[in-house]
Chain A
Amino acid sequence: MSSTYPTPPSPEAIRVSGSRPRLPWFALALLAPVLVFGIFGPLLFLHDPTAINLMTPQKPPVWLAGGEWAYPLGTDQLGRDLLSRLMEGARVSLTIAAVGVLLAAMIGITAGMAAGYFGGFVDTIISQIVDIKMSIPATLLIILLGAVIGGGLVTIVVSVIFLFWADYARIIRAEALSLRERGYVLLAKVANAGHGRILRRHILPNLFGTCIVLVTLQVGRAILIEAGISFIGLGVQPPATAWGMMVFEGRSYLSTAWWLPTFSGLAITITVLGTSLFGDWLRDRLDTRASAL
């Protein structure tokens, strides 16, 4: 272009130039209670989340007839306080998601960096594996895994790793591919720096923004995966609880205690929405390539 004729701004540009808030208040407002409950849950419990009280089964939320302040969101079929159970579920769900996503990130980032930086044979192999993984329905792999090792914490975490590492590998590979051609990397090569040193000192630090954004966006998705796994019975086992399991259990009482599945699912939705909005905001702020997600 020979003059300052601006092309119509791209969607990203519009978001950037528009009234983007300095902090994602809406996302933070969604996430704040989840984080507080997840971290300080045990201090805030109104009741022991696993304490069965057969005197108070299926109490409705406080604003409905028959509800009482002792159980703000009502109780489940065994008389357990729904709010306390949601807090306990937050702790479990968030922990699982965070651990799974971080482990997946470690594997995926390593694979993606190797593929993008070394290219050639290494790249072909890793890209091929990523391709294959993408075309196999994820749920089937989870079921297979569940059939072999049964349900539980390990199944969920391994599933999350299994499902997510390829996303990191794909995006990080693209980044590393372009970083490889940057001047300072070429200089380092000329200076005879070893591959390990170049990867650690020159490539990895430049991937930081992308990784942060990916991890944030993936935490939301991991919570959805955890919920799905719990829903098909391969999640944490009672008396431990997680949100997905609570929806599953509540399903049987749909006509008599609609609040059970409704609030559990709402908790999942709010958390996922909050993390993905926060991730979008981070992506715009750090201006990374993670938009491929």
Chain B
Amino acid sequence: MRPVTFDETAVALEAINLSVTLRRSRDGADIPAVNGVSFTLYRGRTLGIVGESGCGKSTTAMSLLRLLPRTARIAGQIRFRGEDLLAASEERLRAIRGRYISMIFQDPMVALDPLFTIGDQLAEPLRIHCGLEGDALRARQVELLAAVGISTPETRLTQYPHQMSGGMLQRIVGAIAMSCNPDVLIADEPTTALDPRAQASYLDLLKMFGETYGLALVMVTHDMGVVARVCDDVLVMYAGQAVEKGPVRQIFNAPKHPYTRALLTSIPNGEVEREWLPTIAGQPPDLSRLPPGCSFAPRCSAAQERCSREAQIERVVGDRHRARCWRAVAP
């Protein structure tokens, strides 16, 4: 795999006013899981999408490739290489999935088909998207496994998922995702299921991919520690909305939204324990019954009467830095 030269300001993908409505299977109610989210992915940069369970971050990630259940409705635009993916045909999307935009899922133990060899599952995108066969295919398979740090790749190709550890499987999932040199890689909590040592090295691997191959990386996570380690930009989500977004340095140094501040204070100090610590009192709201006004207001320690009355709009708080809180602009 050869490093590529790229322009860091080149836009890889742009999501504009993305909204997703999901059908809840329990009662058939329509849930506004994502509500007017916009962001831009740049080549060679990593965007972290952060938030608690149920904030819509995974749904946002999945909607980029339209991998949502059939009952889901997506509105807005996803601009990629001059076309709108939300308007593209299913056939066109298949040509994009795995070729230009690929994904890594949370749990590597269930991400691969247990009945087929690693080699088979790695060969699928190479055959379909790159037309590789025979020796060229095999050479590429070995090269990919080596690139993700798998020793004895020839042997691994003939093995089945159940013969490998979670850390190794997630590297293989990474190799499959990277197999066609995509422009965009979406990683949905890629290290949550791994043990701490494997977590750190996997994050380094993804970071290396991004920098070496000019990949636009989306890192969906609940863990501000992960954001600090790999991300260049951050999008903080709460109850389906982007409550704050901007360059990681600005957000870590001067968070403008109370929710972001609460998330940052909940980062544990220890190196070993990186689990989510629920230091924010209260529960996220039921998306089918959002409160009027700011949806974070019921849990916000700085909430005032105006907050629960007035829906919040995004405000410019700095260069490329936005926050959805009226108090953010106040000095």
Residues of A within 8 A of B (CB): 1-9, 13-14, 17
Given contacts A2-B222, A8-B69, contact A17 B25 (CB under 8 A): yes
By the criterion CB–CB under 8 Å, are B53 and A3 in contact? Answer: yes
Q: Give the Cβ gap from A83 to chain B, nearest Cβ, in Å.
A: 46
Q: Give complex CA distance A6, B188 in Å.
A: 15
Q: Give the Cβ gap from A41 to chain B, nearest Cβ, in Å.
A: 45
Q: Which residues of A contact B27 (CB under 8 A)?
A: 17
Q: List 21 A-B contacts (CB under 8 A).
A: A1-B53, A1-B106, A2-B57, A2-B58, A2-B192, A2-B221, A2-B222, A3-B33, A3-B56, A4-B22, A4-B31, A4-B56, A4-B59, A5-B58, A5-B68, A6-B24, A7-B69, A8-B69, A14-B25, A17-B25, A17-B27
By the criterion CB–CB under 8 Å, are A3 and B25 in contact? Answer: no
By the criterion CB–CB under 8 Å, are A17 and B28 in contact? Answer: yes
By the criterion CB–CB under 8 Å, are A6 and B25 in contact? Answer: yes
- Bitwise, B175-216 to A at CB < 8 A (1) or not (0) is 000000000000011001000000000000000000000000
Q: Give the Cβ gap from B261 to chain A, nearest Cβ, in Å.
A: 21
Q: Which residues of A contact B28 (CB under 8 A)?
A: 17
Given contacts A17-B27, A17-B28, contact A3 B69 (CB under 8 A): no
Q: Which residues of B contact A3 (CB under 8 A)?
A: 33, 51, 53-59
Tell me the total A-B contact number using a CB cutoff of 8 A. Answer: 51
Q: Give the Cβ gap from B7 to chain A, nearest Cβ, in Å.
A: 32
Residue in contact with A17 in the complex, picked from B26, B51, B59, CB distance below 8 Å: B26
Q: Which residues of A contact B69 (CB under 8 A)?
A: 6-8
Q: Which residues of B contact A2 (CB under 8 A)?
A: 53, 57-58, 106, 188-189, 192, 220-222
By the criterion CB–CB under 8 Å, are A4 and B220 in contact? Answer: no
Q: Which residues of A contact B54 (CB under 8 A)?
A: 3-4
Residues of B within 8 A of A (CB): 22-28, 31, 33, 51, 53-59, 62, 68-70, 106, 188-189, 192, 220-222, 287
Interface class of chain A by DSSP = loop
Q: Which residues of A contact B56 (CB under 8 A)?
A: 3-4
By the criterion CB–CB under 8 Å, are A6 and B22 in contact? Answer: yes
Q: Which residues of B contact A6 (CB under 8 A)?
A: 22-25, 69
Give 4 nearest A-B pairs by CB, closest first.
A9-B25, A3-B58, A4-B54, A5-B58
Residue of A nearest to B54 (CB): A4
Most central of A3, A6, A7, A8 by chain B CB within 10 Å: A3
Most central of A6, A14, A17 by chain B CB within 10 Å: A6
Given contacts A9-B25, A17-B27, contact A4 B53 (CB under 8 A): yes
Most central of A2, A6, A14 by chain B CB within 10 Å: A2
Q: Which residues of B contact A17 (CB under 8 A)?
A: 25-28
Residue of A nearest to B62 (CB): A5
Q: Give complex CA distance A17, B71 in Å.
A: 14
Q: Give the Cβ gap from A94 to chain B, nearest Cβ, in Å.
A: 38
Q: Give complex CA distance A4, B68 in Å.
A: 12
Q: Give complex CA distance A14, B69 in Å.
A: 13
Q: Give complex CA distance A9, B59 in Å.
A: 16
Q: Give complex CA distance A9, B70 in Å.
A: 11
Extra A-B contacts (8), CB below 8 Å, given A5-B58, A6-B22: A2-B58, A3-B54, A3-B57, A4-B22, A6-B69, A7-B69, A17-B25, A17-B26
Q: Give complex CA distance A3, B27 in Å.
A: 18
Q: Give complex CA distance A13, B31 in Å.
A: 18
Q: Give complex CA distance A2, B51 in Å.
A: 9
Q: Give the Cβ gap from B322 to chain A, nearest Cβ, in Å.
A: 21
Q: Which residues of B contact A14 (CB under 8 A)?
A: 25
Q: Which residues of A contact B222 (CB under 8 A)?
A: 2
Q: Give the Cβ gap from B48 to chain A, nearest Cβ, in Å.
A: 13
Q: Give the Cβ gap from B55 to chain A, nearest Cβ, in Å.
A: 6
Residue of B nearest to A13 (CB): B25
Q: Give complex CA distance A6, B70 in Å.
A: 11
Q: Give the Cβ gap from A19 to chain B, nearest Cβ, in Å.
A: 10
Most central of B25, B33, B53, B55 by chain A CB within 10 Å: B25
Q: Give complex CA distance A8, B67 in Å.
A: 11
Q: Give complex CA distance A13, B23 in Å.
A: 13
Q: Which residues of A contact B70 (CB under 8 A)?
A: 8
Q: Which residues of A contact B221 (CB under 8 A)?
A: 2
Q: Give complex CA distance A17, B70 in Å.
A: 16
Residue in contact with B287 in the complex, picked from A4, A7, A8, A13, CB distance below 8 Å: A4
By the criterion CB–CB under 8 Å, are A4 and B57 in contact? Answer: no
Q: Give complex CA distance A4, B188 in Å.
A: 13
Q: Give the Cβ gap from A98 to chain B, nearest Cβ, in Å.
A: 37
Q: Give the Cβ gap from B243 to chain A, nearest Cβ, in Å.
A: 15
